[in-house]
Amino acid sequence: MNFSQNHGLKALCTTYYSYLKLSLVIVLSLAVLSSCTKGNSKDNNTAKLPMVQVLELAPHEVQVPKSYIADIQAVQFVEVRSKVSGFVTQIFVDEGAIVKKGQRLFQLTSSEFNDMVNSARANLAQANAELQGTQVEVERLETLVKKNIISPSELELAKSRRAVAESKISQAQSQLKTAQTGLSYTTVMAPFDGIVDRIPHKLGSLVTENDLLTSITDVSEIFAYYKLNENDYLTYMREKIEGENQAEIEENLTLILSDGQHYSEHGKLETSEADFEQGTGSIAFRVRFPNPDKLLKHGASGKIQMKTNLENIFLIPQKSTFEVQDYTYVYVVTKENKVVIRSFQPVQRFGLFYIAEGFQPGDRIVYEGIQQIKDGMTIDPQSVDEKVVYQQLDVTI
């Protein structure tokens, strides 16, 4: 082989070697690029999982207030009515006045009853005179009979006349008592210590028997009547029979007035009705409240609030729920971090929470972000501290 041929062969080998080197660089570059692409794709898929705040549930014991509409009544309330007919000649009190038992309220015309009293007294005096005369006659005849001057039959007749005179006295005394009672009815007095209500009949008005003159109320204490349904009644009675929480129930009885404020005095549960009310299936209880400042009036309205303990219940934030056609739902997070829709029946509201049963300790629910997730979606859960949730929603456990 000559020099020219060797030189050509050498150049060809050099070119082939350069080609192989370039191909190897291209292959390695593609491999690296593919690896980077796959890594970026995996990172992108992870980044696409929504980060959602998740709350882990735990059972609690809470004291829940329960309210019942109350009917407020004075401890004593009496309608003062006229017992006789007549004109109102005097009014001794004003509307809203505080009166004592036996204090005069009204004076009605009494001339007719005065005449009746005077006539009854005259009849009684006449009957007494007749009795005295017959008694003298009987004593005289008894002496004559003893001396055998007259027959005993005449004495018996005299005794009969005395008996008639005695009966007339009894009749006259009864008439006098009736007249005096009628006369006393013309002066109307307070039956007990209390407050005078409205006075419909003014001075000079004609009133007939049983007309309403006014009402007297004693509001030194008041009664608040409220009704329990049968289930609440059975719960209360079982606790009372077993002696559980009885003192706490009575201490936690409070009255909420119509303006929403709590009455400062605590009540005492006293008694209940004997039977359930037909139609409503409820039974009334009575609570006595002191009323030292006379703030409460007869016929006022309010609510009785009782606090009851609920054990082993779960608090579900209302912001974590949604409603569809009267059903309440929440998103539950599985161990695989998938969200599943679950319905539940709230027992009642408790602040910004629902009280619920049927969950298990350790169940996780979506706390915030329910608008951005769907049933079956996988999420990136971010745990929320339970204490922080309660603090944010202003609830103390």
Tokens standing for 159?
């005794």
| pLDDT given for residue 250 in this prediction | 62
With contact defined as beta carbons under 8 Å apart, do 365 and 321 qualify? no
Predicted local confidence at residue 106, as pLDDT? 95
Whole-number pLDDT of residue 22: 46
Q: Which two tokens stand for residue 364?
A: 């996780």
CA torsion, ordered 111, 117, 120, 121, to nearest 10 deg:
-120
Q: How far is CA 177 from the centre of its chain?
A: 50
* Pair of tokens at residue 8: 């050509």
pLDDT at residue 82, as a whole number? 93
**C-alpha to C-alpha distances, 162 to 24, 166, 172, 176, nearest whole angstrom:** 159, 6, 15, 21
**Do the Cβ atoms of 101 and 192 come closer than 8 Å?**
yes
Please write the tens of the pLDDT for every residue from 195-217. Answer: 999 999 999 999 999 999 999 99
- Beta carbons of 330 and 18 less than 8 angstroms apart: no
Q: What's the pLDDT at 249?
A: 60
Among 285, 290, 271, CA closest to 232: 285
- Assessment of whether the complete model's pTM goes beyond 0.85: no
The span from the CA of 97 to the CA of 111, in Å, is 29
Domains and CATH numbers, the chain: 51-62+312-392 (2.40.420.20), 66-74+222-309 (2.40.30.170), 83-108+187-210 (2.40.50.100), 110-185 (1.10.287.470)
| CA–CA distance, 236 with 243 (Å, rounded to integer) | 10
Quick one: how far is CA 270 from the chain centroid? 15
Per the document, the length of the chain is 397
Segment 42-71, tens digit of pLDDT: 444 445 788 889 999 999 888 777 888 999
| Two tokens, residue 69 | 């509409």
Instruction: Show the low-confidence residues of the chain (pLDDT under 70).
Output: 1-47, 243-252, 393-397
What does residue 327 show for φ and ψ, rounded to 5 degrees?
-110, 140
Quick one: pLDDT at residue 99? 94
Please state the φ and ψ torsions of residue 275, each to the nearest 5 degrees.
-130, 155
Residue 9: the pLDDT is 44
Phi and psi at residue 16, to the nearest 5°? -65, -40
Tell me if 340 sits within 8 A of 364, measured CB to CB. Answer: no
